[in-house]
Structure 1
Amino acid sequence: MIAPNQWFEDFQKNMSDLLAKTPAADIERNMKALMTQTFARMDLITREEFDVQADLLARALERVDSLETRVHALEQQFDKTE
């Protein structure tokens, strides 16, 4: 008797082979190609690219805050010398 796991694996393989020979496989390939083209036209970015840009923005904002503090301190020193 065939083990249940082996039977399921054989069944899955047979179904995959059957589906590969039907129009369903062509439809799937065409849909993937259509979706790829659509996403390419949308100019999307990956999550990794987004995270990198968010990190760069956070560091830039910290730098701006630091520079604003320094400018404010220099303005106060300048006002005292006048």
Structure 2
Amino acid sequence: MFDPKKIEDIARQIADSVPPGVKNMAGEAEGRIKQVLQSQLSKLDLVTREEFDIQTQVLIKTREKLEAMESRVAALEAQQNAPQETDK
């Protein structure tokens, strides 16, 4: 769901900011931070980039169809409301 590389980078940045005296625990801390980040991010109501892109394309197609239908309805209404010639 989330890019593991980005989560690892964030965890590594946090671990790198740990004071030198605590560096020996950095490996464990990095793993734990990664777990906490993944856990907290999974609780958020987020969609993946792929899902977002798919829904964007669906929306674009839906708008195109709606615009086409609006044009057809407008043309039909104009045709219906136009004065009709009567045969003499």
TM-score interval, normalised by the smaller of the two chains = 0.5 to 0.7
Question: What SS does the aligned partner of 1:54 have?
Answer: helix
| Structure number with higher helix proportion | 1
- Larger radius of gyration, structure 1 or 2? 1
Give the alignment partner of residue 75 of structure 1, picking from 66, 77, 81: 77
Deviations 1:45-72 (A, max 9, x none): 1111111111111101101100000000
* Equivalenced residues, count: 61
Higher relative contact order (CA 8 A, sep 6+): 2
Q: 4+ residue runs of structure 1 moved beyond 6 angstroms?
A: none
| Post-superposition offset of 1:81 | 6.0
Q: Which runs of 5+ in 2 are unaligned?
A: 1-23
Q: TM-score, normalised by structure 1?
A: 0.66
Tell me the percent identity: 34
CA RMSD of aligned residues (A): 1.6
What is the distance in 2 between the residues matched to 1:81 and 1:59?
A: 35
Q: Which runs of 5+ in 1 are unaligned?
A: 1-21
Give the alignment partner of residue 39 of structure 1, picking from 29, 38, 41: 41
